[in-house]
Copies of this chain bind each other. A is one copy, B any other.
Amino acid sequence: MNSRGTAVTIREVAQAASVSPATVSRALNGPSAVRPDVRDRVLKAVAELGYRPNGRARSLRTRATMVLGVLVSDIMNPFFTAVVRSVEDTAQEAGYSVILANTDEDLQKEARYLEVAAAEQVAGVVLSPASTSQTRVDVLTERGIPVVTFDRRLRTAEVDSVTIDNVQAAREATLHLVAQGCRRIGFIAGLATTTTGEDRLAGYRAALTRSGRPVDERLIARGNYRREGGYAAARQLLHAGRAPDGLFVSNNLMTLGALDALAEAGLRVPEDIAVVGFDDATWALGQRSQLTVVSQPTYELGQQATNLLLRRVGREELPVQRIVLRATLTVRASSRRLAS
């Protein structure tokens, strides 16, 4: 801080080092041609005055930032925070910083943060959209800011995405329950406004159909991707007609809620009801957890999304990418009813 109580500018550094602002800029920024002794003088002045370049001014001029934005739909969900960490790691390797915002599955909030990202001119945005059709990324794309969605896709915009094959993953999980001898398999679906909500449901239906089972709509409940939602949905299923003997829950937090409901109802897992969840929940249940889950490759998800984004940021021309990663079914005791 100088005597004026304001930030030190490049001109003050220039003056202190008896050079022009342009030279200071050159000394600081590239490996450009500045005489060593001049450079040293500049660096010394920078250090003494505590000069820090004003990022806004710089990127106003250069039309570039080294900051990526990440917009997640629920920051309290460890699946998303895990992806965020991997985005961060990957971005950092490329010299980018990451700022994060939480949209909370709320279209208004999401819209606001998309605007913020546009106004702040981030280099690119990684996004788990709150809605398949109502999320508007054009605010960004119109300004030439690339967007990559992860976990979920947009149907309304032609943007890159990195997801798993949700239909296939849900089908595999459901077929597993069928194979374990479950006769009435319940399903707790996610928000209908998201591709994960729809695709996982489609996979569940497909598996039943393929197994020659009818789809009983009373065995399908919707949740809001939160724990309470899973709890409420599970209770609904338990009290609707004959209780299920198998349950597939399509997201991590809802799985915990469903387990709460099962425990409350005095049901044993897997004896009374076999359970398959989504996403590893070691953060909640511990390493010794015996929950069968569809495991998503969170680290790879974030990594691929970021790398893809960075290619776009680098103005690389390539067709719209839809990267689909493999999810794997991790079978543990919660779903094991037959020796296999």
Chain A residues with CB under 8 Å of chain B are 1, 5-7, 50, 52-60, 67, 69, 75-76, 78, 81-82, 84-85, 88, 92, 97-102, 104, 109, 112-113, 115-116, 118-121, 139, 142-144, 227, 256, 259-260, 263-264, 283-288
Contacts and interface: CB of A to CB of B under 8 A. Distances in A.
B52 A115 contact: yes
10 contacts: A52-B115, A53-B119, A55-B118, A55-B119, A99-B99, A100-B100, A100-B102, A120-B120, A256-B286, A260-B286
A58 B283 CA distance: 43
A112 B85 CA distance: 15
Given A98-B101, A99-B101, A121 B56 contact: yes
Contact of A100 (B50, B101, B259, B287): B101
A142 B1 contact: yes
B97 A100 contact: no
Given A57-B60, A75-B81, A264 B288 contact: yes
B75 A85 contact: yes
Contacts of A1: 142-144
A261 to B, nearest CB: 10
Copies in the assembly, this chain = 2
A142 B259 CA distance: 51
Nearest to A82: B76
Given A60-B54, A139-B52, A286-B260, A75 B67 contact: no
A73 to B, nearest CB: 13
Given A1-B144, A256-B286, 6 more contacts: A7-B142, A53-B119, A55-B121, A57-B60, A76-B85, A76-B283
B56 A60 contact: yes
Nearest to A89: B104
Contacts of A6: 144
A307 to B, nearest CB: 19
A5 B81 contact: no
Nearest to A141: B1
A88 B113 contact: no
Contacts of A284: 256, 283-285
B259 A116 contact: no
A54 B283 contact: no
Contact of A5 (B67, B121, B144): B144
A42 B104 CA distance: 34
